[in-house]
Structure 1
Amino acid sequence: MPRVDVNIMGQAYSMLCADGEERALREAAIYLDSKMKAIRDAGKVKGNDRIAVLAALGVAAEFLSVKSPQGPLSELSILEVKQKIAAMHTVLDTALTPQENLF
Protein backbone atom coordinates (compact mmCIF):
# COMPACT_ATOMS: atom_id res chain seq x y z
CA MET A 1 0.00 0.00 0.00
CA PRO A 2 1.41 3.37 -0.96
CA ARG A 3 1.78 6.13 1.62
CA VAL A 4 0.39 9.54 0.68
CA ASP A 5 1.31 12.78 2.44
CA VAL A 6 -1.25 15.59 2.37
CA ASN A 7 -1.66 18.94 4.09
CA ILE A 8 -5.01 20.18 5.36
CA MET A 9 -5.30 23.57 7.08
CA GLY A 10 -1.55 23.63 7.65
CA GLN A 11 -1.51 20.21 9.30
CA ALA A 12 0.45 17.39 7.66
CA TYR A 13 -1.16 13.96 7.41
CA SER A 14 0.43 10.76 6.19
CA MET A 15 -1.86 7.88 5.29
CA LEU A 16 -1.98 4.62 3.42
CA CYS A 17 -4.27 4.00 0.49
CA ALA A 18 -4.96 1.27 -2.03
CA ASP A 19 -2.74 1.02 -5.09
CA GLY A 20 -3.87 3.43 -7.77
CA GLU A 21 -5.85 5.67 -5.40
CA GLU A 22 -3.05 8.09 -4.59
CA ARG A 23 -4.22 10.79 -6.99
CA ALA A 24 -7.84 10.60 -5.79
CA LEU A 25 -6.72 10.88 -2.17
CA ARG A 26 -4.55 13.92 -2.93
CA GLU A 27 -7.40 15.57 -4.84
CA ALA A 28 -9.82 14.84 -1.99
CA ALA A 29 -7.39 16.42 0.48
CA ILE A 30 -7.02 19.52 -1.70
CA TYR A 31 -10.81 19.80 -2.01
CA LEU A 32 -11.34 19.39 1.75
CA ASP A 33 -8.56 21.89 2.47
CA SER A 34 -10.24 24.47 0.22
CA LYS A 35 -13.64 23.91 1.87
CA MET A 36 -12.18 24.21 5.37
CA LYS A 37 -10.19 27.34 4.49
CA ALA A 38 -13.29 28.96 3.00
CA ILE A 39 -15.20 28.33 6.24
CA ARG A 40 -12.27 29.61 8.33
CA ASP A 41 -11.80 32.69 6.15
CA ALA A 42 -15.47 33.60 6.46
CA GLY A 43 -14.57 34.32 10.09
CA LYS A 44 -17.75 33.01 11.66
CA VAL A 45 -16.40 29.68 12.91
CA LYS A 46 -13.55 29.20 15.33
CA GLY A 47 -11.82 25.93 16.06
CA ASN A 48 -10.60 23.38 13.58
CA ASP A 49 -12.97 20.74 14.94
CA ARG A 50 -16.01 22.88 14.13
CA ILE A 51 -14.58 23.86 10.77
CA ALA A 52 -14.00 20.18 9.97
CA VAL A 53 -17.56 19.22 10.96
CA LEU A 54 -19.08 22.00 8.85
CA ALA A 55 -16.89 21.11 5.89
CA ALA A 56 -17.87 17.46 6.27
CA LEU A 57 -21.56 18.38 6.34
CA GLY A 58 -21.15 20.49 3.22
CA VAL A 59 -19.29 17.76 1.35
CA ALA A 60 -21.82 15.15 2.50
CA ALA A 61 -24.68 17.33 1.26
CA GLU A 62 -22.95 17.73 -2.10
CA PHE A 63 -22.36 13.99 -2.30
CA LEU A 64 -25.95 13.09 -1.42
CA SER A 65 -27.40 15.51 -3.95
CA VAL A 66 -25.22 14.06 -6.71
CA LYS A 67 -25.56 10.44 -5.62
CA SER A 68 -29.33 10.37 -5.44
CA PRO A 69 -31.46 12.81 -7.42
CA GLN A 70 -34.41 11.49 -5.41
CA GLY A 71 -32.48 11.66 -2.12
CA PRO A 72 -33.15 13.73 0.98
CA LEU A 73 -31.76 16.90 -0.59
CA SER A 74 -33.19 16.51 -4.07
CA GLU A 75 -36.05 18.95 -3.54
CA LEU A 76 -33.86 21.67 -2.02
CA SER A 77 -32.14 24.53 -3.77
CA ILE A 78 -28.49 25.28 -3.04
CA LEU A 79 -29.63 28.21 -0.88
CA GLU A 80 -31.89 25.92 1.16
CA VAL A 81 -29.05 23.41 1.63
CA LYS A 82 -26.80 26.25 2.81
CA GLN A 83 -29.52 27.38 5.22
CA LYS A 84 -29.81 23.85 6.62
CA ILE A 85 -26.04 23.70 7.07
CA ALA A 86 -26.13 27.08 8.85
CA ALA A 87 -28.84 25.72 11.16
CA MET A 88 -26.66 22.67 11.87
CA HIS A 89 -23.80 25.06 12.63
CA THR A 90 -25.94 26.78 15.25
CA VAL A 91 -26.79 23.45 16.86
CA LEU A 92 -23.12 22.44 16.85
CA ASP A 93 -22.11 25.78 18.38
CA THR A 94 -24.61 25.31 21.16
CA ALA A 95 -23.46 21.75 21.82
CA LEU A 96 -19.70 22.35 21.58
CA THR A 97 -19.36 25.67 23.41
CA PRO A 98 -19.62 24.15 26.92
CA GLN A 99 -16.92 21.64 26.00
CA GLU A 100 -14.50 24.42 25.05
CA ASN A 101 -14.59 25.59 28.65
CA LEU A 102 -13.21 22.23 29.76
CA PHE A 103 -9.85 22.85 28.09
Structure 2
Amino acid sequence: GYASLSPYRTKDAFKSTVELSIYIHEDYRGKGVASKLMAHILDHARVTDTLHTVVSVITAGNAASTVLHERFEFTYCGLTPQVGFKHGKYQDTETYALLV
Protein backbone atom coordinates (compact mmCIF):
# COMPACT_ATOMS: atom_id res chain seq x y z
CA GLY A 1 0.00 0.00 0.00
CA TYR A 2 0.94 3.62 -0.16
CA ALA A 3 -0.18 7.04 1.01
CA SER A 4 0.56 10.39 -0.59
CA LEU A 5 -0.26 14.06 -0.30
CA SER A 6 -0.46 15.99 -3.55
CA PRO A 7 -1.41 19.57 -4.44
CA TYR A 8 -5.17 20.09 -4.22
CA ARG A 9 -5.29 22.86 -6.85
CA THR A 10 -2.61 24.75 -8.77
CA LYS A 11 -3.72 28.28 -7.84
CA ASP A 12 -1.85 30.03 -5.01
CA ALA A 13 -5.02 30.35 -2.92
CA PHE A 14 -4.96 26.57 -2.39
CA LYS A 15 -1.25 26.08 -1.67
CA SER A 16 -1.89 25.16 1.98
CA THR A 17 -4.35 22.41 1.01
CA VAL A 18 -3.33 18.93 -0.12
CA GLU A 19 -5.23 15.93 -1.42
CA LEU A 20 -4.74 12.62 0.37
CA SER A 21 -4.54 9.32 -1.48
CA ILE A 22 -4.28 5.92 0.19
CA TYR A 23 -4.25 2.66 -1.74
CA ILE A 24 -3.98 -0.81 -0.23
CA HIS A 25 -3.46 -3.99 -2.28
CA GLU A 26 -6.48 -6.23 -1.88
CA ASP A 27 -4.38 -8.96 -0.18
CA TYR A 28 -3.58 -6.55 2.69
CA ARG A 29 -6.96 -4.91 3.28
CA GLY A 30 -8.53 -5.34 6.70
CA LYS A 31 -5.14 -5.81 8.39
CA GLY A 32 -4.58 -2.30 9.74
CA VAL A 33 -2.27 -1.16 6.94
CA ALA A 34 -4.50 1.76 5.93
CA SER A 35 -4.75 2.99 9.52
CA LYS A 36 -0.97 2.94 9.94
CA LEU A 37 -0.46 4.77 6.65
CA MET A 38 -3.16 7.32 7.53
CA ALA A 39 -1.63 8.01 10.95
CA HIS A 40 1.83 8.43 9.43
CA ILE A 41 0.78 10.73 6.59
CA LEU A 42 -1.35 12.89 8.91
CA ASP A 43 1.54 13.18 11.38
CA HIS A 44 3.63 14.42 8.46
CA ALA A 45 0.93 16.92 7.46
CA ARG A 46 0.64 18.26 11.01
CA VAL A 47 4.36 19.05 11.29
CA THR A 48 4.51 20.69 7.87
CA ASP A 49 4.13 24.39 8.62
CA THR A 50 2.77 25.23 5.18
CA LEU A 51 -0.21 22.84 5.37
CA HIS A 52 -3.63 23.71 6.77
CA THR A 53 -6.16 21.31 5.19
CA VAL A 54 -6.11 17.71 3.96
CA VAL A 55 -8.85 16.83 1.47
CA SER A 56 -9.78 13.29 0.48
CA VAL A 57 -12.03 12.37 -2.43
CA ILE A 58 -13.27 8.77 -2.29
CA THR A 59 -15.58 6.71 -4.44
CA ALA A 60 -19.06 6.81 -2.92
CA GLY A 61 -20.07 3.57 -1.27
CA ASN A 62 -16.54 2.60 -0.23
CA ALA A 63 -17.51 1.69 3.33
CA ALA A 64 -13.99 0.81 4.47
CA SER A 65 -12.66 4.17 3.33
CA THR A 66 -15.58 6.01 4.92
CA VAL A 67 -14.94 4.30 8.27
CA LEU A 68 -11.21 5.06 8.01
CA HIS A 69 -11.80 8.77 7.39
CA GLU A 70 -14.35 9.02 10.19
CA ARG A 71 -11.97 7.25 12.59
CA PHE A 72 -9.40 9.97 11.89
CA GLU A 73 -12.02 12.71 12.40
CA PHE A 74 -12.33 13.90 8.82
CA THR A 75 -15.48 15.93 8.16
CA TYR A 76 -17.85 14.81 5.41
CA CYS A 77 -18.19 17.70 2.94
CA GLY A 78 -20.52 16.33 0.30
CA LEU A 79 -21.24 14.13 -2.69
CA THR A 80 -20.37 14.93 -6.28
CA PRO A 81 -22.42 12.84 -8.72
CA GLN A 82 -20.93 10.83 -11.57
CA VAL A 83 -17.53 12.56 -11.84
CA GLY A 84 -15.39 9.45 -12.26
CA PHE A 85 -15.61 6.50 -14.62
CA LYS A 86 -14.35 3.09 -13.51
CA HIS A 87 -15.55 -0.49 -13.44
CA GLY A 88 -17.59 0.26 -16.55
CA LYS A 89 -19.79 2.97 -15.08
CA TYR A 90 -19.83 6.53 -13.79
CA GLN A 91 -19.10 6.84 -10.09
CA ASP A 92 -20.07 9.42 -7.48
CA THR A 93 -17.40 10.72 -5.13
CA GLU A 94 -17.57 11.83 -1.51
CA THR A 95 -15.30 14.57 -0.22
CA TYR A 96 -13.84 14.63 3.27
CA ALA A 97 -11.61 17.28 4.88
CA LEU A 98 -9.41 17.57 7.95
CA LEU A 99 -7.84 20.71 9.34
CA VAL A 100 -4.29 19.99 10.44
Higher relative contact order (CA 8 A, sep 6+): 2
TM-score, length-scaled by structure 1: 0.24
TM-score, length-scaled by structure 2: 0.24
More helix by share: 1
More strand by share: 2
Which one has a bigger Cα radius of gyration?
1
